[in-house]
Structure 1
Amino acid sequence: MSSRLNYLKIFNLGLGFMVISMIWAAYNAYMPIFLGNFTKSNTLIGFVMSWDNIANLFILPFFGALSDNTRTRIGRRMPYILVSMPLAGVLYALLPLQTKLLSLLVIDLLFNIVVATYRTPMVALMPDIVEEEHRSKANGVINFMGGLGSLIIFFIGSQLYKINKAYPFFLSGILSLIIPIVLFLTIKEPKIVFNEEKKEKQSILKALATVVKDQNKAPFYTLLSIFMTIAGCAAVETFFTRYCKIALGIDESVSSFAMGFYALAFLVFALPAGFIATKIGKRKTMMIGAFGQGILFLIFMIVRDFRTIQILMPFAGMFNALFTINSYPLVVSYTSAEKIGTYTGLYYFFSSLAAIVTPSSFGAIMDFIGFNKLFLAASICLFISFAFLWIIGEKYENTMS
């Protein structure tokens, strides 16, 4: 690998993440509507919409480890991208065309399974082709491209939906056929020297057991930090509009518009977050992000003026970028090239688990303790996340990140 960051390769890889973001943005926006055409059961709709998180919890870690152990002439990750991404695109394009609930559920289930089989290999491709010192910057570019994909769906896809409900899905489906070819032609995976004696040890369960039992607690504490931050942020993102409506009397259209600035600030700050980490370190940058968000959530709990929340919301997005952009690069900095896919799977295991347990647990807190305690619980999660990173200390950052 070159000692300099190849921005063209990262841009092309970012196109893949742009498509993934487009897929999920349209899926989350319109799939409940498609399901609602066949059933009035919100329970069923909610269950179906959780399939992606369930798939992420089990399938992503498995295929991350599997890609580590894959040996082909075109690399470890590329076979999964070349096969699964186009297939997922075809299944995705079929979703709005279904006229019966059963066929919609079957195709949706297949889509969620297939799309999960290439996501971890694609994510693991970044640290494969980028040296450790440049990974935060590369991840910033990739996350920027991902955010751009969401904006494309929100602004362009919404207009296509008005013409034909299938067009946003066709757009992402077509790109899912094209982008794998672009990646194959422009990105060559580096040759890794493998220790065949350790090949069987590269599994997600054994990797999880290793990080838990290892005397070097930096990887485990980092994963716990990521879990706590995602739990706190996901809770606020999930219940923010409902909190504003019930506790502050603010219409959901107004509060959701404010959340848009949160997302926009994250997008704008994605690139600077990577450059800041290059200067001061990934762990320190993440600590600033976690602590900053924790303070802001405490302020949100105290203030009753929605204008204040609106003004501070972009800063919350900025702090979120400082943490999120550098979390994955820090996780994979703890391992060797042989096990990047496995550690990528661990990253998604903890991330997905946080996303699954957050809605019900924080909903219970709001039900039994009070609506404004949403931000208190979220801030506690962020401060715990900060504490895990602080405990790691300089010892591991200087030697591993």
Structure 2
Amino acid sequence: MKNTWLLGFGFFSISLGWSLYNGFVPFFLDNYLTSTALIGFLMTIDNYIALFLQPYIGRHSDGTQTRFGRRMPYLLIGIPFAALFFALIPLHTNLLTLLIFMLCMNLSMAVFRSPTIALMPDITPESQRTKANGIINFMGGCGAILAFSVGSFLFSFSESLPFFVVSAVFLLALWIVFTNIKEHRDGISLTNTEVPKINYKEELNAPTLYLLAAIFFWFIAIQGMEALFTLYGVNELGLSQSASAFSLTFFSLSFVLSAIPTGLLGAKFGKKKVIVIGVIGLILSFLLLNWVDSVIYLRAILFIGGVFWACVNINAYPFIVSSGSKHSYGTRTGLYYLVSSLAAIISPPTIGLFIDLFGFSVLFLAAAGSLFFALICISRVNDKETQNLATNNL
């Protein structure tokens, strides 16, 4: 597990960077734009890039052969450029330079995100991947918490300072990962002489397609809920903006605290079982939230819901890579981000349309409905069939 904690620094830097980016870049855009909708669209550039570029990068990394390994070259190229353009964002001089720096930063992040994540199954035995995913998500959650706490403190002194600090963390994380993880030494998936041969027809088997559909539907529910919850708290429950936003932190906090334990549960009892429990628990939590009007109960249920979300999210990625061959981890990582990014693009406007038609009270009902479809899809994934397919492709 030592390598997992070391790799976690890569996830820490990614989460730290995205959280700071999402938290403070809208302030820069607001200086030039009056349309909140346009600002919101520009802040989703990463999802559109992820939709097309990350599956390609992930698939391409599966076939990369260098003395540094399959994934490391993408980190060595992408992270320095991401650090550079991240530092340049607060130094923009007008809207055009801001948009150029944002676009270049997003493209740079897309170069190394899938390969970084694919490194986890590359260096981790299948039986330990849920635990490993829990560890790296825990570190990612810590990065997000630091971005909003320490980042806000630094931003109050200088708008550039937190961006400079994160750029330095990017480079530090690259140094830690590069000097401590050697793919040819630590990789368990491929030998140095193997050339990956990927049969995409076999890779996109029925269990994989059902699992991708389940991932899409539960991200529709979570992305829509998180994007619109603050408005729900203000308009439906009468909370202040700060109280509504603070309530959502209970969901995120419990997810971080539950990341490692739910990974251990997935390793012990099976990924699918823990995911199914998590989806059912989220459905019940969201249905209860629809009738809650007390802030205390609201936050308590959100905290419980975060635990169930950890059951789902921590075990999902190891499950998707375990349903295919050892040659396709990068490809499957790209597919995972394709469907999650597609959900991030579709969910807020779709659930927002339901709210326009039926009012804010429909938010958690719509999220629960999407989770119900996710439950149907994950129920169609046969654990034994998945294991057999993965074994046959070794």
Normalized against structure 2, the TM-score is what?
A: 0.94
Please list, as runs of the form range in 1=range in 2, the aligned pairs for 1:311-390 lying within 5 A after superposition.
Answer: 311-390=300-379
Q: Which residue type is aligned with residue 137 of structure 1?
A: K
Following the alignment from structure 2 to structure 1, what is the Cα–Cα distance between the partners of residues 143 and 354? 34
Q: Which residue type is aligned with residue 243 of structure 1?
A: Y
Q: Which residue type is aligned with residue 106 of structure 2?
A: N
Q: Which moved more, 1:103-112 or 1:368-377?
A: 368-377
Are the aligned partners of 2:323 and 2:387 in contact in 1 as well (CA < 8 Å)?
no
Residues 218-257 of structure 1 deviation map (CA, whole Å, 9 limit, x = unaligned):
1111111111111111111111111121112111211211
2:256 is the counterpart of 1:267 = yes
Aligned to 2:9: 15
Q: Which residue type is aligned with residue 334 of structure 1?
A: S
Are the aligned partners of 1:211 and 1:220 in contact in 2 as well (CA < 8 Å)?
no
Is the partner of 2:290 in helix, strand or coil? helix
Are the aligned partners of 1:292 and 1:319 in contact in 2 as well (CA < 8 Å)?
yes
Unaligned runs of at least 5 residues, structure 2: none
Are the aligned partners of 1:62 and 1:345 in contact in 2 as well (CA < 8 Å)?
yes
How many angstroms does 1:43 deviate by?
Answer: 3.2
Match of 1:243 among 216, 228, 232: 232
Aligned to 2:132: 138
How many angstroms does 1:400 deviate by?
Answer: 6.3
2:228 is the counterpart of 1:229 = no
How many angstroms does 1:83 deviate by?
Answer: 1.3
Following the alignment from structure 2 to structure 1, what is the Cα–Cα distance between the partners of residues 109 and 299? 36
Is the partner of 1:23 in helix, strand or coil? helix
Following the alignment from structure 2 to structure 1, what is the Cα–Cα distance between the partners of residues 192 and 336? 24
Following the alignment from structure 2 to structure 1, what is the Cα–Cα distance between the partners of residues 52 and 349? 20
State the identity %. 39
Residues 95-149 of structure 1 deviation map (CA, whole Å, 9 limit, x = unaligned):
0011111111111111111110100000000000001110000000000000011
Are the aligned partners of 1:227 and 1:354 in contact in 2 as well (CA < 8 Å)?
yes
Aligned to 1:192: 191
Aligned to 1:47: 41
Distance 1:211 1:72, change over 3 A: closer
Are the aligned partners of 2:15 and 2:144 in contact in 1 as well (CA < 8 Å)?
yes
Following the alignment from structure 1 to structure 2, what is the Cα–Cα distance between the partners of residues 375 and 296? 9
Is the partner of 1:392 in helix, strand or coil? coil
How many angstroms does 1:394 deviate by?
Answer: 4.3
How many angstroms does 1:371 deviate by?
Answer: 1.6
Residues 292-344 of structure 1 deviation map (CA, whole Å, 9 limit, x = unaligned):
00111111112333332122110000000000001000000012221110011
Q: Which residue type is aligned with residue 184 of structure 1?
A: F
Match of 1:79 among 51, 57, 73: 73
Match of 1:123 among 111, 114, 117: 117
Q: Which moved more, 1:136-145 or 1:44-53?
A: 44-53
Unaligned runs of at least 5 residues, structure 1: 1-6
Match of 1:109 among 103, 106, 109: 103
Are the aligned partners of 1:293 and 1:319 in contact in 2 as well (CA < 8 Å)?
yes
Aligned to 2:156: 162
How many angstroms does 1:211 deviate by?
Answer: 5.4
